[in-house]
Amino acid sequence: MANFTKPQRSKLPPPPALNEATDNLRAPEHAPLGVVDGRTLRATGRTQQLSTRVTEAFHRELKVYAVQHKLKLNELLEMSFEAFKRANR
């Protein structure tokens, strides 16, 4: 039979003397700063998803126009709808 011996454990050095240890355990604990992530900074209040089917050519044209004018697709859709409402009063 094979001889399976227990693996050697790495031995840790002895703990530092009490006078050499830091006082961080006696220091007051500070609450962590509120981290603002990118999602919070980008929050726009848009919570409803809108999905529709369009032709590939229309989708490509819409995306190209949005990129050229530095708009997001939802911003372009909102602007288009506002223009449509103004034109059809």
- Whether 11 maps to a domain, the answer reads no
Q: Return the structure tokens found at 58.
A: 């229309």
Alpha helices in 1-72 (DSSP H): 38-42, 56-68
Query: Is the per-residue pLDDT at 21 higher than 80?
Result: no
- Whether 38 maps to a domain, the answer reads no
Provide the residue count of the chain: 89
The range of the structural domain enclosing residue 59 comes to: 54-89
pTM: 0.52
Q: What is the pLDDT of residues 37-54, one digit of tens each?
A: 777 777 778 888 899 999
- Whether 71 maps to a domain, the answer reads yes
- Whether 74 maps to a domain, the answer reads yes
pLDDT, greater one: 78 or 44: 78
Q: What's the rounded mean pLDDT across residues 57-79?
A: 95
Alpha helices in the chain (DSSP H): 38-42, 56-68, 73-87
Domain count, the chain: 1
pLDDT value at position 36?
75
